Amino acid sequence: MTPLKYAVLAGFLLMPLASATVAEPALELVQQNCVSCHQSEVYTRDDRLMQTYDDLLAQVRRCELNLGLSWFDEQIEQVARHLNQEYYKF
């Protein structure tokens, strides 16, 4: 194996450890992936598009798919739940 492959493999193996130490994984996910196009004002503006929690879950999935992030369902749910707790409060 090339050194690069070792590095990639090591990174992959360490990933679960790294994310386990993050106190708020959903917050991290949002900050790392979601703020380049819109910050939190899109969730709190008067004419926000989401009307229900299901809308929100679907929209998180839509944005995530657009970005090609390949999140697990749990990550999508964590982020939707986080946005709901912080902003939408359905």
64 binds ligand HEC (CB under 6 A): yes
Burial of 47 (0-12, 13-18, 19+ CB in 10 A): exposed
Q: How many residues bind ligand HEC (CB under 6 A)?
A: 20
Confirm or reject binding of residue 15 to ligand HEC (CB under 6 A): no
For residue 84, state whether it binds ligand HEC (rule: CB under 6 A). Answer: no
Q: Which amino acid is at 7?
A: A
Q: State the residues that interact with ligand HEC by CB under 6 A.
A: 30, 33-34, 36-38, 42-43, 48-50, 56, 59-60, 63-64, 66-67, 79, 83
